[in-house]
Amino acid sequence: MIIFSGSQSKKLAEGVSAQDDLEPGVVEVRQFPDSEFYVRILSGVRGKSCGVIQSMPDPNNNLVEMLLILGGLRDCGAKNITAVVPYLAYARQDKKFKEGEAVSARTILGILDEFSDRIITVNSHFLDNAGRFKPYGIELENLDAFPLVAEYFRDKLKNPVVIAPDKGAVGYAKNAARIIDCDFDYLEKTRISDDKVEMSIKNLDVGGKDALILDDMISTGGTIIEAARLLRRKGAGSVSAGCVHGLFTKGLERFRGEVDEIACTDTLETGVSKVGVGELIARAIPY
């Protein structure tokens, strides 16, 4: 199988293609002065299985670039094509809450499905569990990298407790706690007013413990920082934070002094991408 990469996931694609029987592909990608992409497939792909790896933190550019690579592979006669989108953009809106809203997850998956034979994601935001799903009738395999994040922190914390930042993430915390062999809990949010939310720990006493806050993604980081401050007020000995997808849209500097360590996977390339998912993808991608 030949592994290609969009410009966003070159290091990850190198890690995947370094696995046995996976060959790195060569593609030329550049942009014209008006920002349009030019794509040319340089590897011979006729009759061969191909995979394209591209996360989408810059949703519009990353998506268009990937679609052009997928289309190029199809035009060059690839036998079958797997679209690997470790971080899938537009996944937040997976249902209609108000009349007239676009269901972005369905639209983006539909476009990817049109240009590929199979779609693989990692901890997609609108799916709670790993496995094979058919959202909107589209076949999708969602890989779970949370165990890898838990393994990373397991030997770093002496007296650990895993904390989910809200009830929606408690399943991830429970699974991570099983791997680390510790207790887990989640934070409850109570709205005081339109612009004020109060956080509280549901059950556990975190006094003297090494608290690990886990979520599927960290975007601005506001919730993580608020949670870290609460845990310190409650006597936590240390506070660390981990996630699968580290967007960090307001930068990493704001976490300095708030958490003792922060780590994410390399689904997105950041300064704290300390957990590799290359082997996880490599096991799933071959036909």
Q: Which domains does the chain have, with CATH numbers?
A: 2-144+276-284 (3.40.50.2020), 146-266 (3.40.50.2020)
DSSP letter assigned to residue 16: H
- Residue 115, token pair as written in the block: 């240009």
Asked whether the predicted pLDDT for residue 19 surpasses 70, the reply is: yes
Q: What is the pLDDT of residue 125?
A: 84
pLDDT in tens, 211-253: 999 999 999 999 899 999 999 999 999 999 999 999 999 999 9
CA separation for the pair 76, 69 (Å, rounded): 10
pLDDT for position 168: 82
Residue 262 CA to residue 186 CA, distance in Å, equals 18
Tokens of 274: 């300390």
Six token digits for residue 181:
């062999």
Q: Which amino acid is at 8?
A: Q
The rounded percent of the chain whose pLDDT value lies above 70 is 97
pLDDT for position 37: 97
Q: Has residue 197 got a pLDDT over 80? A: no
Q: State the pLDDT at residue 200.
A: 81
Burial class (CB in 10 A: 0-12, 13-18, 19+), 195: exposed
Catalytic (active site) residue 189:
yes
pLDDT of residue 120: 98
Beta bridge pairs of residue 238: 210
The single residue of 174, 189, 234, 274 carrying the catalytic annotation is 189
Q: What angle, rounded to 10 degrees, do the helices at 104-115 and 59-75 form?
A: 20
Per-residue model confidence as pLDDT tens digits over 48-90: 999 999 999 999 999 999 999 999 999 999 999 999 999 999 9
Check pLDDT > 60 for residue 273: yes
Are 170 and 203 a contacting pair, CB within 8 Å?
no
